[in-house]
Amino acid sequence: MSEIVRETQVRSNRLPLIFIGFALLILIAVFINVRFGHRGQDDKHIEQGINALNARKFEEAEREWREALKESPQRPEPYLLLSEFYVTSGHPEEALSLLQGLEKIAPSTKQLYRRLAESYSLTGQTVPALEAAKKAIEQDPSDSAAHALLGIQLGNQMDARGSVSELSKAALLSPQDDKIALSLAQAQLDAGDFAGAEVTSRKVIARNDRYATAYYLLGWSFSRRDPSPDTLIQAITAFRKATELDPKRADAFAELGRLSSLKGDALEAQKALKKAWDLGLHDGTTAFNLASAYRKTGDAKNATLMSQEFKRISDYTTRAEALQKMLRVSPENIEVALQLAELDIEAEKYEDALPLLQKILQLQRQNLRALRAAEKLYTRIGDTKNATFYRERIRSFAKP
């Protein structure tokens, strides 16, 4: 049984893996549709699913491809279309099951291992994700996305040098890909190459001066250097620009507030940190810094309230760390993983809870407690489609 261990990250703001959208799924479908012209169009379900996808009738497309899979379980097309559909719609555990089946019957399928690496990563399985990414590069050394996936996985395992190396290869193969470039900038930051991260971020800004994440990483390239008046100003300027371009970027507001406090501007610090908190960044660092900013501006009431929030978060951290330690000792313990996921949901750490739940549900598809936790998670974040998906699964698996 695979390990159920949360990915260890250098910082909570690590760039996500490269997600593919419905536009790319449509392109894949069109490509497969063209191939049918050479195969006699013997499987109408696949073609009908592609037509439904083009009409944005996603549930109908899924049904058609499921029927195609039943009728032709040895053909790769239904596996590929369904797996891309599930990754895109936020159900990588479903995609992973399909891709593992495809690996058994057609391991040479183009880009199979890259897709496996992505699905393993999205379900929190770092070790198999790393191995699949390596196989993806063996399968196609010119696949920039495969190099990027491997680089990110190496970074998650604290191999900063290896991460920079693979992401540099990916950037060379796709020099105009801003997502890969910014993943490289992140890896350079993690490796302590702040000057390199600055150069990489500025290259992206030169191509697209409206890219908030590029300014965000540029800010980090200055704020993590030895402090000086110049680096402080450069960092504040970059983070302020990031917040202007993306007013919902809570982590940029938090760092802007911290740096403003270092500069001696308590009012600006309070304003930025309050914005970060209001946007949902309820971590211990933000609570502590905001409490400090309130004290400096003479707001004793709010300083006390934020100090209480800091204590609550600290208590959560203590419990979460204990559960994480238990998982490291006993990585197959689904009960502990589920407790941690439930704790994360109550603490509004939804991004931490989701990979745990996805992994649990891949191993135990009928685990009602995990299904209920997933339904609660998606309900709380306002994702009615996924909440309904899990609600229906609960009804289908629950005993009469």
In a structure prediction context, what are the per-residue pLDDT tens digits for the chain, which is 400 residues long? 333 333 323 333 333 333 334 444 544 554 444 454 445 444 788 888 888 787 788 888 888 888 888 888 888 888 988 998 888 888 899 999 999 999 999 999 988 999 999 999 988 888 999 999 999 999 999 999 999 999 999 998 899 999 999 999 999 999 999 999 999 999 999 999 999 999 999 999 999 999 999 999 999 999 999 889 999 999 999 999 999 999 999 999 999 999 999 999 999 999 999 999 999 999 899 999 999 999 999 999 999 999 999 999 999 999 999 999 999 898 889 999 999 999 999 888 898 999 999 989 988 988 999 999 999 999 999 999 999 999 998 888 765 5
The label of the residue with tokens 């497309």 reads 61
Tell me the whole-structure pTM to 2 decimals: 0.70
70-74: list long-range contacts, CB under 8 Å, 24+ apart.
Answer: 71/43, 71/45, 72/43, 73/105, 74/105, 74/106
Give yes or no for a contact between 231 and 262, defined as CB atoms under 8 angstroms apart: no
CA count, 13 A, side-chain hemisphere, 24 = 11
Res 66: pLDDT:
87
Give the domains, in start order, of the chain with CATH numbers.
Answer: 1-140 (1.25.40.10), 265-325 (no CATH), 330-400 (1.25.40.10)
In the numeric block, which tokens belong to residue 36? Answer: 């049918």
Sign of CA dihedral 146, 152, 157, 158: positive
Q: What residues contact 41, with CB distance under 8 A and at least 6 apart?
A: 47
